[in-house]
């Protein structure tokens, strides 16, 4: 089994969970923020939806100039869900092109031409594509709770949903 096979299996598994969370995003609250320094609900959801395809594209490159960009404000939940589906498909297509040697090769991130990050490509995929999505998915579940939207089961029962009983 190639390294990428386990990553693709995780993407398949976790994207189902992420889809359940994104499905709960209320359209009438897309501009809501829990704090003035926070992203809006819609921006956070769009960031989650866009990460897989974007980071998988970065993983195909050897060097990338990092920039900090704010996710766009979506107009509706459909835009978020369509972006997520597209980005999961793009991520899987791009990642399938990476063999074990390429996954273990070094990926470099720079900022203003200065080195910031130099890690194995597989670490980029693990930390930025996968873990980064899980981190923001957790934030999104808190947004849902604060808005009194039922939180779906993620890794087990939530206060609103028990898939085991």
Tell me the mean pLDDT in the region 92-96. 97
Residue 85 has pLDDT above 90, yes or no: yes
Write down the pLDDT at residue 69.
Answer: 79
Quick one: pLDDT band at residue 1, thresholds 50, 70, 90? confident
For residue 37, what pLDDT is reported? 95
Q: pTM here?
A: 0.95
Say whether pLDDT at 12 is over 90. Answer: yes
pLDDT, residue 70, reads 83
- Please give the Cα distance from 128 to 109 (Å, whole number): 12
- Rounded mean pLDDT, 106-131: 95
In this structure, the strands spanning 106-111 and 63-65 are parallel
Per domain, the residue ranges of the chain are 3-146
The C-alpha atoms of residue 143 and residue 138 are separated, in whole angstroms, by: 9
What was the pLDDT predicted at 71? 86
Give residue 47's pLDDT.
97
Partners of residue 112 on adjacent β-strands: none
CATH class of the region 3-146: mainly alpha
* Alpha carbons 143 and 135: distance in angstroms, whole number: 13
Listed in sequence order, the residues at least 6 apart from 72 whose beta carbon sits closer than 8 Å to its beta carbon are 43, 46
Residue 14 has pLDDT above 90, yes or no: yes
The per-residue pLDDT for range 127-157, each reduced to its tens digit, is 999 999 999 999 999 999 999 999 999 999 9
Residues near 152 by Cβ (< 8 Å), separated by ≥ 6? 17, 20, 21, 23, 24, 158, 160, 161
**Stretch 63-79: mean pLDDT, rounded?**
91
Q: DSSP code of 157?
A: -
Whole-angstrom distance, CA of residue 56 vs CA of residue 107? 12
Give the span between the Cα atoms of 164 and 153, in whole angstroms.
10
Q: Note the pLDDT of residue 103.
A: 97
Q: For residue 39, what are its two tokens? A: 């992203």
Residues 31-56 have pLDDT tens digits of 999 999 999 999 999 999 999 999 99
């Amino acid at each position: 089994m190639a390294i990428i096979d386990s990553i693709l299996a995780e993407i398949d598994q976790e994207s189902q969970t992420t889809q359940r969370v994104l499905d709960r995003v209320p359209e009438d609250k897309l501009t809501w923020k829990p704090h003035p320094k926070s992203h809006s609900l819609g921006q956070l959801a769009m960031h989650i939806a866009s990460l897989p395809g974007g980071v998988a594209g970065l993983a195909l490159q050897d060097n990338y100039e990092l920039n900090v960009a704010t996710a766009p404000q979506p107009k509706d939940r459909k835009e978020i869900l369509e972006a997520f589906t597209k980005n999961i498909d793009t991520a899987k297509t791009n990642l399938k092109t990476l063999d074990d040697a390429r996954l273990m090769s070094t990926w470099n991130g720079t900022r203003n031409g200065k080195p910031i990050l130099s890690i194995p490509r597989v670490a980029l995929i693990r930390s930025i594509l996968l873990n980064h999505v899980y981190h923001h998915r957790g934030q999104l579940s808190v947004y849902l709770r604060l808005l009194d939207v039922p939180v779906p089961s993620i890794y087990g029962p939530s206060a609103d949903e028990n898939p085991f009983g």
